[in-house]
Amino acid sequence: MKQATGVSIPDFNYLRQLVQDHSAVVLYADKTYLAELHLQPIAESTGFASITDLIAYLRTQPFSSLHIQVIEALVTNETSFFRDIYPFEALRRFVLPELVKTRAIERSLNIWCAACSNGQEPYSIAMLIREHFPMLASWSVRLIASDFSNKVLARARQGIYNQLEIQRGLPKSLRDRYFEKQECEWQIKDEIRQIVEFHQINLVQPWPSLPNIDVIFLRNALIYFDLATKKHLLKQVKQQLRPDGYLFLGSGETTINLDESFERVQLDKSIYYRLHNKI
């Protein structure tokens, strides 16, 4: 029996299990179009006559770079500059001004974008800091960005975006100030690129050594995980976040019924989370 995409149900179930085993991302049964959309170019570039032949090969081989390539292709990386503007407004209007006060003695700040995709989110934060918080230039500020996929991290480190990506959420004033035109693309300037440090981190595997974090952006990531994984991730976040730190989730995500250590705080149209035992 075939799905409309031409990928059989058993083949897609194999892909779903492959993705979940190695990234904990849950692909739902109605997402078969993802296989046709994203795997056909891989099948062609690696010499397979069809996606079916590619999957048949994957089934018989030890886990390899080709498996990783397939997993990365199936994991959603949709993002944009200043996506859902309200978290960035909260960062600018309340969170960073508050942290500038509470960290005034140590003059140190750590921010982590834990699912950074192609880099638009951390670069948005870097531009926000450069625009509105010039005093932080003399602080020790680490803006850490991580993702499961080495492929998207390579793009993020380059900081090169096409016209459509540039038009999504990025004000023209910031484009003109912080980007350089390269034919049909735009590259973010070194002064912003150098603010961000990129690391490959699979959130569902043991995390590398990280500093205690003041602000964690874990936006639009929990929605791809099952209940047990969500709870496990929030437990780890709780251990990594400073007691008076801030957690931002996606607009469709929450800690409610997952981890009662967090309290939901609403600031105008922005929502963030803090630990109940904050100091």
User: What pLDDT is attached to residue 251?
Assistant: 84
Grouped pLDDT means (10 residues each) for the chain, 279 residues: 61 88 78 82 88 91 86 78 92 96 96 94 97 95 93 92 91 95 93 95 90 95 87 94 95 89 90 79
Q: What is the distance between the alpha carbons of residues 48 and 25, in angstroms, rounded to a whole number?
A: 26
User: What pLDDT is attached to residue 1?
Assistant: 36
Domain 86-275 has CATH 3.10.105.10: no
User: What pLDDT is attached to residue 33?
Assistant: 79
Q: Which residues contact 11 (CB under 8 A, 6 or more apart)?
A: 35, 51, 52, 55
In the chain, residues under CATH classification 3.40.50.150 are 86-275
Q: What is the distance between the alpha carbons of residues 45 and 43, in angstroms, rounded to a whole number?
A: 6
User: What pLDDT is attached to residue 29?
Assistant: 79
Residue given tokens 């690391």 in the structure block: 199
Specify the CATH number of the domain 9-74. 1.10.155
In the chain, residues under CATH classification 1.10.155 are 9-74
User: What pLDDT is attached to residue 26?
Assistant: 77
* Cβ neighbours of 238 (radius 10 Å): 17
User: What pLDDT is attached to residue 77?
Assistant: 67
